[in-house]
């Protein structure tokens, strides 16, 4: 184990030296790439020093034990050896977890898309509930939320919503939210008190700062239109809203949250880059898709992942068969318990896969 972590520690020290060099700092793209690599291995590099110290302590104690003749002292040293061996085992277990394959986008910000599916107005209303839930969760994490585009219904529901959540490990915590969310409740418009079932789809995409492809002007069509007031805000009389169509893939993005056409275009282009990155990654990386299917969930929008049952005040995640009976708190952004269970389940599967490989 020391040999493995030693190589990682050596690379960590190399990266630490590199990111402080003026010529590297001047190359912002390369500097960010190296910083990201350094962050990914930092915990293992630190644990290497902890393990190294424990192994040195064991060797020192073992030498003392081998040279000791006095029975009581030998017994004491034997107990010390037992203790340090146990400590080494615990450290190695922690390192094994840190060595598990990591999602390179875990530290990324996210872009969330919400769209009503089955259920008409009720699905649109529940889309608003889910949007508020993620906003409240982000607030609890001290993360920043930026609305990009919201199309509303007349009943305070949403036809579609796109927004960014920016904060450390945002993607790591929210990546398993992708899929179909089902709600069971009595709609406000239901006069006979019957429980209706509706669904809303969630897509969570990592916000990629640097991509390996260029968006050419000839490949996109840009339309401007008058903002309808995203989220009930910024209603204006100018054509500040932006819609960008990627002609090759047919992907369409729009932004109307800012008063400035320039800012809306910048945000829309950022979302287009994220969507294109996801599109091409899904298309060419079959191994990635296979791995996702073997983990907690595929992230596919067609996969029903969770049910929010209002009569029973219960929220159940079907992938891990885990329920929480405090629905109101959950919808107020108190989601961490469920998120932790999903992360643990994913980690458990990765451990099993590592043992089998």
Residue 304, classed as helix, strand or coil, is: strand
Q: Which residues pair with 146 in a beta bridge?
A: 164
Task: Tell me the two tokens of residue 51.
Answer: 């393990």
User: Mind listing the pLDDT tens digit of every residue in the chain (357 residues)?
Assistant: 888 999 999 999 999 999 899 999 998 888 888 888 888 889 999 999 999 999 999 999 999 999 988 999 999 999 999 999 999 999 998 898 888 777 778 888 999 999 998 888 889 999 999 999 999 999 999 999 988 888 888 778 888 899 999 998 999 999 999 999 999 988 766 667 788 899 999 999 888 765 556 677 888 888 887 766 444 444 444 567 888 898 888 888 888 766 677 888 888 888 888 888 777 666 655 544 444 444 455 444 457 899 999 999 999 999 999 999 999 999 999 999 999 999 999 888 888 777 766
Q: What pLDDT is stored for residue 305 in this prediction?
A: 93
Distance of CA 215 to the CA centre of its chain: 25
The CB density around residue 291, as the number of other CB atoms within 10 Å, is 16
Closest CA to 125 of 180, 174, 189, 176: 189
Q: What pLDDT is stored for residue 302 in this prediction?
A: 58
The CB density around residue 344, as the number of other CB atoms within 10 Å, is 13
Residue 22's contacts (CB-CB under 8 Å, 6 or more residues apart) are none
Is the whole model's pTM more than 0.85, yes or no? Answer: no
């Amino acid at each position: 184990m020391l040999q493995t972590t030693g190589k990682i520690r050596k690379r960590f020290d190399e990266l630490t030296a590199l990111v402080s060099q003026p010529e590297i700092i001047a190359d912002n793209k390369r500097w960010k790439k190296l910083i990201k690599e350094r962050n990914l291995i930092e915990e293992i590099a630190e644990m290497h020093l902890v393990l190294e110290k424990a192994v040195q302590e064991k060797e020192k104690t073992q030498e003392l034990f081998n040279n000791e003749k006095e029975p009581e002292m030998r017994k004491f040293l034997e107990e010390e050896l037992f203790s340090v061996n146990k400590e080494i085992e615990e450290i190695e277990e922690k390192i094994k977890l840190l060595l598990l394959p990591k999602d390179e986008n875990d530290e990324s910000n996210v872009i969330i898309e919400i769209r009503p599916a089955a259920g008409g107005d009720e699905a649109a209303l529940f889309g608003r509930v889910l949007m508020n839930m993620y906003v409240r969760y982000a607030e609890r994490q001290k993360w920043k939320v930026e609305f990009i585009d919201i199309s509303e219904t007349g009943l305070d529901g949403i036809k579609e919503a796109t927004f960014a959540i920016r904060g450390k490990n945002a993607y790591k915590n929210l990546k398993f939210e992708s899929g179909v969310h089902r709600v069971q409740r009595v709609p406000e418009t239901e006069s006979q008190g019957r429980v209706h079932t509706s669904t809303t789809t969630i897509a969570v995409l990592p916000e990629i700062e640097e991509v390996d492809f260029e968006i050419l002007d000839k490949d996109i069509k840009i339309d401007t239109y008058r903002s309808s007031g995203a989220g009930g805000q910024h209603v204006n009389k100018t054509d500040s809203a932006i819609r960008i169509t990627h002609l090759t893939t047919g992907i369409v993005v729009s932004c109307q949250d800012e008063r400035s056409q320039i800012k809306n275009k910048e945000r829309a282009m950022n979302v287009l880059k994220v969507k294109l990155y996801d599109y091409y990654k899904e298309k060419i990386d079959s191994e990635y898709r296979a791995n996702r299917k073997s983990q907690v969930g595929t992230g596919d929008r067609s996969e029903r992942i969770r049910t929010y049952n209002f009569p029973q005040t219960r929220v159940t995640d079907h992938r891990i068969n885990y329920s929480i009976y405090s629905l109101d708190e959950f919808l107020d952004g108190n989601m961490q318990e469920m998120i932790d269970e999903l992360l643990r389940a994913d980690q458990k599967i990765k451990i099993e896969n590592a043992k089998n490989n």
